[in-house]
């Protein structure tokens, strides 16, 4: 997990994103202000000694927004920020829900352009590549299309929220039940239920025939331009238009996207544009970003043999403890993983178990000499000075 997080953070750093850390505990009103009224259902809440309501962070974007609006308020824009940490949810929407999981992500704050959106989408693609996911694709949509259709339905806010949640869960039977009960116009209902089919190269052309509002037509043109910019980034082949994409936080205002792989039925990452979130904290900065679900990336990536074994296991004969510890210290200084026998077992048992467990070599330190047993079973005696010359070669064979 640490290797995956480090690889993604390193890729983000190459794009100019600076890592920061936010508190695990946040004020409850901060999270509700950022995530919307429905946030309370998914939060782990607690009360401090002074009676202040707190909660464990359910995601990282809102804490980053609060930090930008306070400590980084006067920093020059745009801000490129990265983060990694655990998030907590009492109730996670959708399949595969966990109460605690690791995220690594980034935010581009202070830029409202298509170029900023393209940078974030392209970096999301490169982050999945850095994490070792193969194969994968990124599905790209825009919340404005759904909002235009819902506006045409003129639903009460409660029903509109219900439809959004059902669409996120891909529950189309439930959507039709809500719309039929409200007597929604047939043409608009058809447009809404057609959203899941609007994927791939022909999606934008089909969408233009379904939506009539000028704003929606502008959105579709922007998505076409965004695709051209992503081609210039060299990631266009990994991105597919999907106008049914619905994210599980209500602060998104523009593009939204998710990363998927055929071996897993849940998104590996998600993100999008949220231009009005920071207004809730007193700064009217546009922003866009994404977060990677690290545990899902690990589940989707090819699993190597994860047995852990040291490079060298050292045992010592009577009277040779000091020499053994000096040899271990010297080998560790050469970037080798070295363990010293601490159970007093016989040398043959130590060597056999070490090599069966995958260690590179087993070493018995005697006075002025050492017995080295290789993975193949061969054994030789060398001076202690010769043991240090093993150097990095002691890593082989693993």
User: Which tokens sit at 344?
Assistant: 């007093």
Q: What is the mean pLDDT of residues 108-123?
A: 97
What are the CA-CA distances from residue 48 to residues 45, 51, 53, 111, 355 (Å)?
10, 5, 7, 37, 52
Which residue, among 128, 390, 100, has the nearest Cα to 239 in the 3D structure? 128
pLDDT band at 396 (very low <50, low <70, confident <90, very high): very low
Report percent pLDDT > 90 for the chain: 59
> Is pLDDT at 230 greater than 90 in this prediction?
yes
Handedness of CA 173, 174, 179, 185 (dihedral sign): negative
Q: What is the mean pLDDT of residues 300-319?
A: 83
User: Which tokens sit at 373?
Assistant: 């047993």
Distance, in Å, from the CA atom of 26 to the CA atom of 54, rounded to the nearest integer, reads 6
- pTM, full prediction: 0.81
> Is pLDDT at 305 greater than 60 in this prediction?
no
Half-sphere exposure (CA, 13 Å, Cβ side) for 149? 25
* Most distant CA atoms of the chain, gap in Å: 92
The Cα angle at residue 237 between residues 234 and 239, in degrees rounded to 5: 100
What are the CA-CA distances from residue 398 to residues 238, 307, 337, 360 (Å)?
36, 11, 12, 5
What domains are there in the chain, each with its CATH number?
2-300 (3.30.930.10), 312-395 (3.40.50.800)
- What are 261's strand-pairing partners? 264
3-class state of residue 192 by DSSP: helix
Terminal CA-CA length for the chain = 21
């Amino acid at each position: 997990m640490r290797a995956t997080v480090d690889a993604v953070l390193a890729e983000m750093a190459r794009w100019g994103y600076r890592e920061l850390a936010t508190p695990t505990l946040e004020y409850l009103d901060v999270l509700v202000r950022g995530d919307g009224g429905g946030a309370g259902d998914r939060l782990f809440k607690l009360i401090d000694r002074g009676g202040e309501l707190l909660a464990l962070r359910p995601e990282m974007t809102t804490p980053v927004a609060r930090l930008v609006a306070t400590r980084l308020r006067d920093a020059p824009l745009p801000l490129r920020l990265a983060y990694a940490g655990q998030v907590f949810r009492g109730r996670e929407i959708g399949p595969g829900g966990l109460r605690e999981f690791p995220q690594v992500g980034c935010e581009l704050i202070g830029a409202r352009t298509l170029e900023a959106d393209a940078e974030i989408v392209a970096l999301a693609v490169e982050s999945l590549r850095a994490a070792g996911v193969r194969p994968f694709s990124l599905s790209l949509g825009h919340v404005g299309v759904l909002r235009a259709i819902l506006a045409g339905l003129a639903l009460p806010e409660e029903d509109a929220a219900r439809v959004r949640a059902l669409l996120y869960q891909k529950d189309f039977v439930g959507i039709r039940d809500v719309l039929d009960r409200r007597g929604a116009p047939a043409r608009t209902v058809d447009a809404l239920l057609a959203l899941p089919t609007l994927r791939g190269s022909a999606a934008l052309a089909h969408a233009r025939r379904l939506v009539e509002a000028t704003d929606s037509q502008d959105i579709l043109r922007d998505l076409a331009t965004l695709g051209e910019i992503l081609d210039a980034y060299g990631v266009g082949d990994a991105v597919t238009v999907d106008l049914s994409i619905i994210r599980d936080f209500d602060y998104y205002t523009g593009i939204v996207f998710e990363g998927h792989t055929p071996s897993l039925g849940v998104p590996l990452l998600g993100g999008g544009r949220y231009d009005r979130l920071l207004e809730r904290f007193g700064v009217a900065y546009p922003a866009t970003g994404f977060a990677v679900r690290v545990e899902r990336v690990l589940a989707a990536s090819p699993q190597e043999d994860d047995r852990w074994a040291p490079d060298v296991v050292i045992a010592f004969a009577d009277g040779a403890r000091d020499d053994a510890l000096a040899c271990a210290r010297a080998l560790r200084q050469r970037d080798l993983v070295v363990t010293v026998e601490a159970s007093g077992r016989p040398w043959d048992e130590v060597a056999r178990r070490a090599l069966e467990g995958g260690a590179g070599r087993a070493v018995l330190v005697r006075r002025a000499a050492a017995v080295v047993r290789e993975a193949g079973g061969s054994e030789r005696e060398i001076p202690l000075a010769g043991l240090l010359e093993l150097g990095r070669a002691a890593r082989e064979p693993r």
